[in-house]
Structure 1
Amino acid sequence: MRCSTKLLAPLLGVLAVGAILMSGCAPASAGDPAADKPTVKEPVAAPSVAPSPSATSESDATTSFLAWLTASRVPEVDEACAPLAPDLVDRMLAEMRSDGFPEVSTCEEMITVSAELYRAFDQSAEVDIDVQSETASDAVLFVTYLASGDCGTVVMQRPASEWIITEQTEECA
């Protein structure tokens, strides 16, 4: 399959939802299971307010996003599709169709094709996540893929017990 940078950039940016998105770090060996697991590099800038004593290094929304990112790379389609809002999936599928993937019509197909592209192009899942805001029911994360600098704002809501990545999620311009 022939893929141009123009074709991959929008697809990968959206899936990173970060987008979704990146160029590889130093490649890990093919047999290394850690190679497919996303990692978080803590932001370099010091926080503007001191964290509360109960704060952890990874927020609840961050943990949820990383679980989605891992599932999207394996791929584990049920786990990768479950936290995506239907309107976000529709937008991502429309972008894939406009980028030359007319045969991709479901979230499951989208995740599978994307995971294959990540592997084929040895794309790193190492990210920097800056929690811009988080409450018990809403979160905004700024996600940057370290190797490429691709980034996006991930908007999440938790209407019940699980976080949902909403259609307000956007790639950096």
Structure 2
Amino acid sequence: MLLTAGLMVSACAPSPAPQRTPGPTAAATPSASAASSTPEPTPQTGPVESFLAWIDASRAPDTEQACAGLTPELADRMIAELNSSGPVQVTSCAEMISATAELYRALGQSAEVDVTVQEQTDTEATLFVTYLASGDCGTVVMERSATEWIINELSEDCAA
């Protein structure tokens, strides 16, 4: 539960904006513009950078960015855990991110973390995360879509 609360409260900073190249000009030939507009999408950042961006966004709070960094299943689990463990009741991911950001701000808790990659493939990564201010820890399991890494519901707290 501490990881879930930590994930909720420590959430994300906006990911760097993807670099965009100017589109073809009106003078470009159809074959040139077709060739330049079909690159395969690739992630702009790795899983560690994506997790750190999520932490920054969740603390800001940038609810849109923070919620986009979670699978719907994880967001639902985090909402249920927050509702069952405290006086704050929320019904959406955005409300959860806002509430936890306010709790962290009120407690003056730092968002500093130590992150170690335990495993990583092209589509999945498992990070071991320790929140430096509290010592709370856990595994953060991330999955990659075509263009981004997001935190999934397999993430867990350290065993007590």
TM-score range, shorter chain: 0.7 to 0.9
Report what 2:98 is aligned to. 112
2:73 to 87, 98, 103: 87
What is the CA–CA distance in structure 1 between the aligned matches of 2:134 and 2:54, rounded to whole Å?
20
What is the CA–CA distance in structure 2 between the aligned matches of 1:103 and 1:110, rounded to whole Å?
8
* Cα displacement string for residues 91-119 of structure 1 (whole angstroms, at most 9, x for unaligned residues): 11111111134630100000000000000
1:156 to 115, 137, 142: 142
Report what 1:13 is aligned to. 3
Report what 1:67 is aligned to. 53
Q: For structure 1, which runs of at least 5 residues remain unmatched after alignment?
A: 1-9, 22-36, 38-58
* Cα displacement string for residues 11-37 of structure 1 (whole angstroms, at most 9, x for unaligned residues): x531433x757xxxxxxxxxxxxxxx8
Is the Cα–Cα contact under 8 Å of residues 16 and 152 in structure 1 kept in the other structure? no
CA spacing shift, 1:116–1:165, aligned 2, 3 Å: same
Output the TM-score relative to the length of structure 1: 0.68
Is the Cα–Cα contact under 8 Å of residues 125 and 143 in structure 2 kept in the other structure? yes
Q: Superposition pairs for residues 24-173 of structure 1, below 5 Å?
A: 60-101=46-87, 103-173=89-159
What is the CA–CA distance in structure 1 between the aligned matches of 2:4 and 2:58, rounded to whole Å?
12
Q: For structure 2, which runs of at least 5 residues remain unmatched after alignment?
A: 14-44
Given residue 172 of structure 1, which amino acid in structure 2 is its aligned partner? C
* Cα displacement string for residues 26-79 of structure 1 (whole angstroms, at most 9, x for unaligned residues): xxxxxxxxxxx8xxxxxxxxxxxxxxxxxxxxx810000000000000000000
What is the CA–CA distance in structure 1 between the aligned matches of 2:86 and 2:54, rounded to whole Å?
25
| Structure whose alpha-carbon radius of gyration is higher | 2
Percent sequence identity over matched residues? 56
> Structure 1: which 4+ aligned runs deviate by more than 6 Å?
none
What is the CA–CA distance in structure 1 between the aligned matches of 2:152 and 2:130, rounded to whole Å?
18
Is the Cα–Cα contact under 8 Å of residues 16 and 69 in structure 1 kept in the other structure? no
Is the Cα–Cα contact under 8 Å of residues 130 and 141 in structure 1 kept in the other structure? yes
Is the Cα–Cα contact under 8 Å of residues 143 and 151 in structure 1 kept in the other structure? yes
Output the TM-score relative to the length of structure 2: 0.73
